[in-house]
Structure 1
Amino acid sequence: MAVYTDLSATQIADFIADYDIGALTSFHGIAEGVENSNFLIQTTQANFILTLYEKRVERDDLPFFIGLMQHLAQCGMSCPQPVATRAGQMLGELEGRPAAIVTFLPGLSVRRPSVHHCAELGRGLAQLHLAGADFTMRRPNALSVAGWKPLAQATHAQADSVAPGLATTIADELQFLEQSWPQDLPEGVIHADLFPDNAFFLNDRLSGIIDFYFACTDALAYDMAICLNAWCFEADGAFNITKGRAMLAAYQDVRPFSAAEQAALPVLARGAALRFLLTRLLDWLNVPPGALVRPKDPLEYLRKLRFHRAVETVRDYGLVA
């Protein structure tokens, strides 16, 4: 989440007048994240999230995201629900951008996940994958291998200003992944961006998952690779194998990995690290002037990539075959 487009109280009040959610009482922008403009709005009825879709979110993809959230909720998953206007529309337009209102989920994200939080997340991720198994809409992953080369090209000229030799490291890694990317793994709906700030907890139990705007159809094990990167490294850059073991074991209690998925995990983790290195690098180099946004450090994912390059077996992640 982030804010790239400023809104006034009058603009928001006029927009929500088409909804049966009460009158606006207050609002504030949400600074976390890097993709869309998000506002917590409080009305006389309840709290909601107003999102303006920007940057990498394509207008044609919005029905997929909205349909997925509705489907997951019908399957018992706790996630935001799109709110329809009185005319039954899920999408509107504000400041020239597609916009939607979704329900507000109670709970808090954790900045420093514990082993217990990682286990809760692993279990919830497996439940999400099973719940999405009969979702009929498909959306290719625009930020998988084919999408990394344009990002590498867009950042190549300035990459070494962020870290010496970074451009070469990216080029070498991209070449390896293009040649080695696993094929024919079990596929389905993946979240593709399940960082700690996109998971809520109440009383140390996973209470909800938010921000489905990178969700797509891809290898299910790739979603786990993203989560290992996002949840199981410590602030000093070290991989916490106890957290990895807890996350993987809890996932497999719900949905066991195939042998092919287990074997592919190190390469998938390298790909996940490169994906977030590239998108963070692009954002780091191109923050819009005056934007209420906190760009995230791309070098965090360079350090993670170096760890994955040294992995010899899936046991290095805590996976017990």
Structure 2
Amino acid sequence: MAVFTPVSENDAHELLARYTLGELVSLRGITAGIENTNFFLTTTHGEYVLTIFEVLTAQQLPFYIELMHHLAQHHIPVPQPQTLRSGERLTALHGKPCVIVTRLGGGYEPAPSPAHCALAGATLAQAHLAGQSFEIKQANLRGLPWWKRTVPLLLPFLSAEQSELIQRTLADQTRFAAGSIYRQLPFGPAHCDLFRDNVLFDGTFEMPRMGGFIDFYFAGQDTWLFDVAVSVNDWCIEQTTGVFDAEKLNAWLQAYASVRPFTEAEQHAWPILLQAAALRFWVSRLYDYFLPRPAQTLKPHDPRHFERILRERYKMVAIALP
């Protein structure tokens, strides 16, 4: 259950008085997610989502809120934060920061086809290009510095073989980040968590339409290629092994490249960025599994899934970008 902060109808009426979004029709808690409290909020003006932030502070949130607003203004399908009568887009409820955003249509596809992959790839490229003019800067908070701080905390829980793999990969990533190719990679605002459950689709399975990207609260400045690698490591694999599905992978990458062609530096960096993306989620899942926050109420994901993917990325023959 992800409703950590209860919200009454009276609370919702008081909150809506700060906006010009009409009168409350209904309020329903959303049970998905582990970081925030979320409600579907229906008013006489439309459908929205109310998010109360349980971890991120009001000082940390402007990057995420304003990035969504910027992308929506550039016609990228994302939840658009609503503006208060005061002109701001972030407010508070029960002493915690909160935001109201538009509710996107559609649902997530747990078993995406190549057509779904192509839609997601093209939309991610559009989002990257639209983000070039976004002026607020914030690093990916789950990037290399976080891996360096977190991996030593995990070593007591790992086997000798796992310890060797995670330390070797971290050393590889540290060397790569200090090199010349890394400095040539296109860089900017990135979603950094674009798994299949963070993309909504309308239409039918045979003829899907893009509904939009959601859950930007792990976003940050990073290489765009890292964002692509995070995505294909979830969208384009055989789930039990982590091996790439060539048809889905080609559909994703070709659709992305049709909007923003990959550079020569990205061609060189692709194999190690695939490893970086696998490492990032192996580390975070290990951390959530062995060192959970006291208030965490949902069962953490199995970290072995991304261990398998990382091992597969070391084994595989390099896949060229289109």
**Fold conserved between structures, TM > 0.5:** yes
- 1:214 counterpart SS class: coil
Take 1:13 and 1:190, find their aligned partners in 2: how far apart are those partners? 35
Shift in Å, 1:221: 0.9
Match of 2:43 in 1: 43
Deviations 1:209-260 (A, max 9, x none): 1112222222111111111112111222232121111111111111100011
- 2:19 counterpart SS class: coil
Take 1:127 and 1:210, find their aligned partners in 2: how far apart are those partners? 15
Structure with higher RCO (Cα < 8 A, 6+ apart): 1
Q: Which consecutive unaligned segments of at least 5 residues does structure 1 have?
A: none
Shift in Å, 1:43: 2.9
Matched-pair contact (CA < 8 Å) for 1:48–1:101 = yes
Match of 1:180 in 2: 176
Shift in Å, 1:80: 0.8
Take 1:51 and 1:278, find their aligned partners in 2: how far apart are those partners? 26
- Aligned-residue sequence identity (percent) comes to 38
Q: Which consecutive unaligned segments of at least 5 residues does structure 2 have?
A: none
Matched-pair contact (CA < 8 Å) for 1:31–1:294 = no
Matched-pair contact (CA < 8 Å) for 1:22–1:43 = yes
- Confirm or deny that 1:245 pairs with 2:250: yes
- Confirm or deny that 1:206 pairs with 2:210: yes
Matched-pair contact (CA < 8 Å) for 1:262–1:314 = no
Matched-pair contact (CA < 8 Å) for 1:33–1:295 = no
Matched-pair contact (CA < 8 Å) for 2:3–2:31 = no
Q: Which amino acid aligns with 1:51?
A: T
Q: Which amino acid aligns with 1:156?
A: L
- 2:71 counterpart SS class: helix
- Confirm or deny that 1:77 pairs with 2:73: no
Deviations 1:65-111 (A, max 9, x none): 22211221221111111112222231112233211111111111111
Q: Which amino acid aligns with 1:31?
A: T
Take 2:297 and 2:272, find their aligned partners in 1: how far apart are those partners? 35
Q: Which has the higher mean CA deviation after the structures are superposed, 31-40 or 271-280?
A: 31-40
Take 1:235 and 1:91, find their aligned partners in 2: how far apart are those partners? 38
Take 1:7 and 1:98, find their aligned partners in 2: how far apart are those partners? 14
Match of 1:134 in 2: 133
Q: Which amino acid aligns with 1:91?
A: L
The change in CA–CA distance for 1:96 and 1:137 in structure 2 (over 3 A counts) is same
Matched-pair contact (CA < 8 Å) for 1:19–1:85 = yes
Take 1:285 and 1:22, find their aligned partners in 2: how far apart are those partners? 45
Take 1:214 and 1:281, find their aligned partners in 2: how far apart are those partners? 17
- 2:173 counterpart SS class: helix
Q: Which has the higher mean CA deviation after the structures are superposed, 16-25 or 75-84?
A: 16-25
The change in CA–CA distance for 1:283 and 1:28 in structure 2 (over 3 A counts) is farther
Matches within 5 A, 1:217-236: 217-236=221-240
Take 2:190 and 2:13, find their aligned partners in 1: how far apart are those partners? 34
Q: Which has the higher mean CA deviation after the structures are superposed, 280-289 or 300-309?
A: 280-289
Matched-pair contact (CA < 8 Å) for 1:123–1:251 = yes
Matched-pair contact (CA < 8 Å) for 1:3–1:291 = no
Aligned residues: CA RMSD:
2.2
Q: Which has the higher mean CA deviation after the structures are superposed, 217-226 or 43-52?
A: 43-52
Shift in Å, 1:291: 5.0
Take 2:309 and 2:106, find their aligned partners in 1: how far apart are those partners? 29
Matches within 5 A, 1:1-321: 3=2, 5-9=4-8, 10-55=10-55, 57-157=56-156, 159-160=157-158, 165-181=161-177, 183-184=182-183, 185-203=185-203, 204-237=208-241, 238-287=243-292, 293-315=298-320, 319-320=321-322
Take 1:278 and 1:4, find their aligned partners in 2: how far apart are those partners? 26
The change in CA–CA distance for 1:11 and 1:167 in structure 2 (over 3 A counts) is farther
Take 2:167 and 2:69, find their aligned partners in 1: how far apart are those partners? 40
Take 2:163 and 2:93, find their aligned partners in 1: how far apart are those partners? 38
The change in CA–CA distance for 1:290 and 1:261 in structure 2 (over 3 A counts) is closer
Shift in Å, 1:16: 3.1
- 1:169 counterpart SS class: helix
Take 1:246 and 1:268, find their aligned partners in 2: how far apart are those partners? 19
Moved over 6 A (4+): none
The change in CA–CA distance for 1:96 and 1:164 in structure 2 (over 3 A counts) is farther
Shift in Å, 1:294: 4.6
